[in-house]
Structures are given as structure tokens and as C-alpha cells.
Chain A
Amino acid sequence: MIRTPLRPLARILHARATGGSPEKIEKDNLRLRNEALRDRARGRAQLRLLFLCMCFFSAFTLVGARMGMLSASEPMEPRGSATGSTIAAGRADIVDRNGRVLATNMLTHALYVQTKDLIDPARVARELAVIFPELDAAALERRFTDGRSFLWVRKVMSPEQMQAVHNIGDPGLLFGPREMRLYPNGQLAAHVLGGASFGAEGVNSAEVIGTAGIEKALDARLRDPAQAGTPLELSLDLTVQATVEEVLKTGVIQYEAKGGAAILMDVHTGEITALASYPAFDPNDRPNPLVDKTAEPGDSPLFNRAVQGVYELGSTFKIFAVAQAMELGLVNPDTPIDTKSLYVGRKRFSEFDNHNYGPTKTVTQVIELSSNIGTGHIALMIGGERQQNFLKSLGLLEPSPIELIEAPGVRPLVPKKWGDLVTVTASFGHGISSSPMNLAAAYASLANGGIKVTPTLLHRSTEMAGPRIVSPQVAADAVMMLRRVVTDGTASMAKMDEYAIAGKTGTADKPRRDGRGYYDDKVVNTFASVFPAEAPQYVLIVTLDEPVDRTGPEVRRTAGWTAVPVAAEMVRRAAPLLGMRPAVAPQPLDGLTAVKQ
């Protein structure tokens, strides 16, 4: 760039010669130069502004045009992207551990009416009442003509009924598609599955929500669209579940019980293989809860005795006191224990039926004979605080963590003040109530070599990695004592050649509902068992509510005569299905095999 000099020599000389002012020339030139600079800067700034304006203009035009296009165009799925797009069902299926369907969805239709399109409301009402017997023609006609423009007639119907409604041929009758929850196995595992019903309803669809059981507890997982294609895999085994339910039902009927519950649980993984409660219901057609406030909750088939039934579980608790005493090093299986008398303050404790087991028995015999006095002495050696902590660590004093919506609300009933009296009664399972599910988890923890087991209804292949509760030796000794109960003690009816069962019976009087003491002739019988005894794999809890055995000369209500045979039959039937080899007595050799050997 050529700089114009501010004081060009020629003009300065000329000015000097003519008497002009050279400063004026310089000022003029300076002004001209500044003006030129300013003009250039302004031009550039204007250009930049213009450019920026253009940028904003085109950006906003683009956004505006896109918005306009979006609002003007028809909404539709991007059909071009055809990469295996899975058409997800509304709600994930529930299957058992082998993939057999426990709950699935079925497409059906709901019927609704646009009353202003009805041509002949009276005839439509009459014919609908013929198709759906539960509808009343007169009431329906009144509802058609009372001024409302829209009403639901039925939530679901079969294809045959739908065709019949089509045949009425009235334009006011309309159908809305519905995904319906279907439980193909009927009553099987009803208390686990719970049930489902419709939530918010629209004409084109309705949401299916779980109302109880695992359907409600895992509602979010089942409704998650991302996981709708993958079924929820439960730990239940359909075949075993059916067998356990069948045997339980037979047992409840045979021993004239009000109801019963059974839990079969894998001790290594904590998976519930079968969970039954009798009486059961059909989750496809869930009955209404009892409205009668005075009725016992157990009277309703909806009541899940295995999880919601909080019972005094009786002598099944004795093994916990003994296991803890062994863990603390207070006793070993052969330590003699006083079984003559036990006083706490003024209260004198006695054995069942006022038996007298002699002055002393070993710890093993205390369990075998189910001695209340012996267990009470052991519990007093442990002390209330340590006992409470131990029972807590086994999960007996807290709601079960199982994946059922009913479970968290069921708190075991524990006395508030844990005095010596409670220490003694709790050691043989009185004055403290827990659910069979809690008991199953606690027995599983003992059978699992002393490592705490958390029960679950979901399929799980890894072994439990819980905290250690008792040492492996104590756990093995405890199982050995339980085995003695079957071979020599109160549970002798569970003795069989094929499978070695170890277990403990428990008989508890039912508390009166008015809170005054206990009934004389109403008991809850429990048999908590572990099998096979040599290497425990499964825990089986059987609870019968108010059973009675009338086969003998006298009426018997102890667990050894009721719950034990039921449990033994369950093991006999279920163990082969679980893939366990029975101990087979060898057949006498015939000539051919004898020669071969």
C-alpha cells in the first residue's frame, strides 16, 4: 500500500512560498487518511453483519422448514430400516427354569358401544344379554339410552363371542384390541404368579398391570419395552411344582387340614424350585379379596401361606439354638444337657405331653427327642442378645427378601423385650412367629455349609456368596443331628431307603384370635427337612394348618404324624424329577450277571 505523505514536500514548499500554513495541509491530509480508514472499517463491519445475518437467516429457515415439514407430514414408522425390528409384545412372558410358559399374552378384543350410532338399543341389549349371560338386558338398555355417548360392555371376550356380536350387526357396537394376560397352567403356581388386570384403558389399547405376586413385584421389569422380548425366567420347575402341589393337596385333604404350604429350595443357589400354598386359585380369574373383616386371612385362597403365613414354627427352631451353641463352642454333639427341669423365674417349662426324658441327654439326643427343657438350657447358655443376633443373621426376624409383592409387608412377630423367658421359648419356636419362607432360608443356610442363603424366585446359576454364619463343621453336625431325628426320633415316617432325609418336626398350638392363650385342638404342623442328608441339595418345608390324623386309635395332631408323611411323599415324587439318583437296593443276581461278575 502506498502511504500518502502527510506533508508532501511540493505543497509545503508551495505553501511556504505563498504564505500558506503547512500545518493546515498536514491536518487536511491526516483527516483524509482517517476518513479513508474509517470508510474501509465500516464497509468491512457491514459485510460481516450481512454475513452473520445470512447465517442466522439460513439457519432459522432450515429449522423452520423442518418444523413445517414435520408438522405437515403424516406420522409413520420408518419402514425403510428393516433390520430385524422385533415386534415387542406389551408385557414380557414368564417362563419356568426350563422355558415352559407360565404366563403369556393373548390378543383379544374389548367391546364398547357408541350409543348415538345404535339403531335399535333394545334389540342390541337383548341379544348381548344372550351372548354374555352375566349382562342384564334391561339394565343394559337403560344404560344405552340414558344420554351417555360411550360405554364399555366387556373387557375381553372369546373369538366365538366376538363373531356372535358381529352377527348382531349394529353399527354402534365396536371392538378395541386388547392384550390379555393368560396363565395356561391354571392354578399352578398361582400364588407366585399372582395375577394381572387392566390399568388405564383406551379404545385402541389398555395397559396390563400386575395385581399380585411376582407380576406386581417385578411389574417394571415385565413392562419394560426394552426387555419385552426376553421372557422372565423363574427358578420354578413346572413339573416339580405340579408334583408338589398335587402331593400337598392330597395331604391337606387326607389330614383334614384347613390349608398347607410347601417350599422346595435349592440350598446352593437359593432358588425356589417349587412354592405351593393350598387352597389355591386361578390367576386367570382372580377371586376378590375377603370383605369380611372378622374372617381369618387364611380363609381366602388368595392367602399365600408359604410367604404370608406367619406361624409359630415350633420345634423346628431348636436346631438354631443348638447350632449356635456349637458355633460358640459352648457344646458339642455329645455334651450332656440337663433335661430334668427348667425354671425361669417362677415359670416352669415342661416337655410335650409332660414326657420325662431322664436327668441328662446329649445335645444330639435333645434334638432327636425334641426336648424343650434341654433346648431351653442351651438357649440360656447362649443368652438372649446373642440368640437374637443369630436369628437375625439367619433372616428369621425380618421380612423375606423374596420377589413377591406380599413378602415385604409380612413382618415376623417378635416380642419387643427379649428377656430370659423369651430366650427359652424362642429356642423352641414359641412366642416368636415367622413365615415358612424365612424358615426355608434359615435351613438352607445351615445345609449350605453355614453360608447364608437368600431365597429367590429368579433363575440363578451362581452359588450363593453370602456371609458365613456357622462353620462348615457345625453345619455338618447340625445336618447329622437332623438326620438322627428321622432315623431315631420324631420324624421316623420320613425314613425311606431311596433318599436320606434329615429334618426337624415342629408342632405349635395356634394362638387364639382373641389373644387369650392358645387353642387346645388347633395346631400348625411343620416339617423342615433337608435332603439328601449326606450332601444336602434341597430344603423342603411343609406346613399344615390345623391337620389331624385319625387313622390311629387316638387322634394325633403332631407333625410327625401329619406333615412328615406328606413331606416324605413329596421327596419320593420330586427327587427323581430333580435328577437325583435314589439308592437302589441291588436285585438278586440271576445266573447270567452272576457269572459275569
Chain B
Amino acid sequence: MRPLLYVLSFLAVFGLGFWAYRENYTTQGALREVAALQDEIAALHESLTIQRAEWAYLNRPDRLRDLAVLNFDRLGLMPMEPHQFGHVTEIAYPPPPSLADGVATMGLGDPVDTSGLLNADPEDGSKP
């Protein structure tokens, strides 16, 4: 009985030693990875700041104003002014949709698979 106990405890010590050795190295590996990730995060943060600054720089009002003037022919952008406001009643009704438009642009002519969709009869409460 006793020799068996000795053998078992030795085996346990070996096993634990091996486990601790491996844990040590995986921990060190994880720490290295964390360090690398943090360096990457720092670099990304930095480039994010620069991109944000650049975005703000490119969107500064006087540049946008100049661009609007330069591209007035194409875009026709004007400063916002009160006379651009209107009443809802002034909005024209949309032209009646022609069938050809719908077929061409919205894909209405394509076949649609309706199996598995909601029941067509709303009064019928049962789920399809």
C-alpha cells in the first residue's frame, strides 16, 4: 500500500510540475500578446486622433464654402435661408407611379417566394 502511495504522490508532483511549467509559459505568452495588443491600440488611438483632426480640417467651414462656390454649377448649393422654408401644402403631389417604373426600378416584376411568410388573411390568428 505504502509504495503505491509514494509512486502516486511522485506522479502527482511530476504532473503538477509539468502543469505549472506550461502555465508559466502560456501566461508569459499571454502577457506578450497583451503588450502587443496595447501597443496596437495605442497606435490605432493615435491614428484615430489624426484622422479625426484631418476630418475636422477637411470639413472646416471656409473650405466647404469655397468648395460649394467652386462646384456651384454642378451642385447649386446655397446658404440656408428663410425663404427656403415652405408650407406642407406647397409640396406637389408625386406623379402617379407608372407600372413601367415600378417594374424596372424596384424589381416588382421578379417572382417572389411567399412560402413561409405571414398568413395572407389577417383575421386568421394562427401563425403560418
Question: Which residues of A are interface residues toward B (Cβ below 8 A)?
Answer: 79-80, 82, 85, 87, 89, 100-101, 104-107, 182, 184-188, 238-239, 242-243, 246, 498-499, 572-573, 575-577, 581-582, 584, 586-587, 589, 592-593, 597
Contact = CB atoms under 8 A, between A and B. Distances in A.
A572 B83 CA distance: 9
Contacts of A188: 60-62
A575 B87 CA distance: 18
Nearest to A242: B61
Interface of B: 31, 34-35, 37-38, 41-42, 45-46, 49-50, 52-57, 59-62, 65, 79-87, 89-90, 92-93
A186 B60 contact: yes
B56 A576 contact: no
Contacts of A184: 53-54, 56-57, 60
Contacts of B50: 106-107
Given A188-B60, A576-B81, A584 B53 contact: no
A185 B64 CA distance: 11
A185 B59 CA distance: 8
Nearest to B88: A593
Given A80-B31, A185-B56, A576-B81, A586 B89 contact: yes
9 contacts: A87-B42, A107-B49, A573-B79, A576-B80, A576-B85, A582-B83, A584-B86, A593-B90, A597-B89
B61 A104 contact: no
B62 A186 contact: yes
B31 A576 contact: no
Contacts of B46: 107
A105 B49 contact: yes
A581 B82 CA distance: 8
Contacts of B34: 79-80, 82
Given A80-B31, A107-B46, A573 B80 contact: yes
A211 to B, nearest CB: 20
B84 A593 contact: no
A491 B83 CA distance: 22
B50 to A, nearest CB: 6
B38 A79 contact: yes
A581 B85 contact: yes
B52 to A, nearest CB: 6
A537 to B, nearest CB: 15
B85 A584 contact: yes
Given A82-B37, A105-B49, A584 B87 contact: yes
The residue in A581, A593, A597 that gathers the most chain B C-beta atoms within 10 A of its C-beta is: A593
B53 A185 contact: no
A261 to B, nearest CB: 19
Contact of A89 (B35, B49, B55, B85): B49
A596 to B, nearest CB: 8
A182 B57 CA distance: 9
A282 to B, nearest CB: 11
Contacts of B87: 584, 586-587
B93 A243 contact: no
- The list of the 7 closest CB pairs from A to B, nearest first, reads A242-B61, A582-B82, A498-B82, A184-B56, A101-B56, A184-B57, A185-B60
Given A573-B81, A575-B82, A584-B87, A106 B49 contact: yes
B127 to A, nearest CB: 42
Contacts of B54: 184
A134 B73 CA distance: 42
B79 to A, nearest CB: 6
Nearest to A573: B79
B53 A106 contact: yes
A500 B65 CA distance: 28
Contacts of A587: 86-87, 89-90
A184 B63 CA distance: 11
Nearest to B32: A79
A593 B59 CA distance: 41
A498 B83 CA distance: 8
Contacts of B35: 79
Nearest to A586: B87
A94 to B, nearest CB: 11
A187 B50 CA distance: 20
Contact of A242 (B31, B53, B62, B85): B62
A416 B51 CA distance: 55
Given A106-B49, A107-B46, A242-B61, A82 B38 contact: yes
Contacts of A582: 82-83, 85
A106 B53 CA distance: 8
Given A80-B31, A104-B56, 8 more contacts: A105-B49, A184-B56, A242-B65, A498-B85, A576-B82, A587-B90, A592-B92, A592-B93
Contact of B52 (A104, A576, A584): A104
Given A79-B35, A242-B62, A587-B87, A182 B53 contact: yes
B61 A238 contact: yes
Contacts of B38: 79, 82, 85, 87
